[in-house]
A and B are shown apart, each in its own frame.
Chain A
Amino acid sequence: DAKTTQPTSMDCAEGRAANLPCNHSTISGNEYVYWYRQIHSQGPQYIIHGLKNNETNEMASLIITEDRKSSTLILPHATLRDTAVYYCIVRIFSLTSGTYKYIFGTGTRLKVLA
């Protein structure tokens, strides 16, 4: 029951901005969008999250469309160490369990090229 769709893979030149899109067209008004990345088979690492407004932190920027149906993660100056699988996640509230579920998409494999 994935809530997000992402391209399977992308390439980006080192030093350039990497723009990773995510479609979450069925998102509800109070559901957050999170981005995580996974390098090799390490544990997923938190990058950024947002609800309605665009967000920026030391790792990345998150641009959310006004209708909230899609978002883009921006790595402003990609390095070789940014090569990873990037997951777009929607946090949903489960009425049956009374708690939050973090539903992962299939992820985008980003390869940063030297």
Chain B
Amino acid sequence: DTAVSQTPKYLVTQMGNDKSIKCEQNLGHDTMYWYKQDSKKFLKIMFSYNNKELIINETVPNRFSPKSPDKAHLNLHINSLELGDSAVYFCASRPGGASGANVLTFGAGSRLTVL
């Protein structure tokens, strides 16, 4: 299946721990994003990579470190987890270029719960 896939789907952990969420897309897209959706359902952009290069960093705490080993993968590592990090994290990708038809395709989300 062609898609944006994220793992794990659910993650429950203690405050202070370090955890990672992985994202892979097999759509051949050049650009990938991480979005955070809080309890009020607001979707906020965090990072974007284009061909392994970081191009957007929305003043996210430096406890969050994205890594893109190749253009099909974008992982999110979070150090010293805090209660406020509890959210659903969505990965998305889109083809490169300016065309308006280059829409975002989202993964199913990774729900992180920090206790």
Contacts and interface: CB of A to CB of B under 8 A. Distances in A.
B45 A99 contact: no
Interface string A85-114: 101000100100111111110110000000
Interface residues of A, number: 27
Contacts, number: 60
B93 to A, nearest CB: 11
A32 B50 contact: no
A44 interface: yes
B104 A46 contact: yes
B102 to A, nearest CB: 8
Give the dominant DSSP class at B's interface: strand
A49 B106 contact: no
B96 to A, nearest CB: 9
A65 to B, nearest CB: 18
B12 interface: no
A49 B82 CA distance: 37
B23 to A, nearest CB: 11
A43 interface: yes
A38 B55 CA distance: 26
Contacts of B55: 97-99
5 contacts: A42-B109, A44-B43, A44-B106, A102-B104, A106-B40
Interface of B: 4, 31, 33, 35, 40-45, 48, 50, 55-56, 88, 90, 92, 98, 100-101, 103-109, 111
Interface of A: 32, 34, 36, 38, 41-46, 49-51, 85, 87, 91, 94, 97-104, 106-107
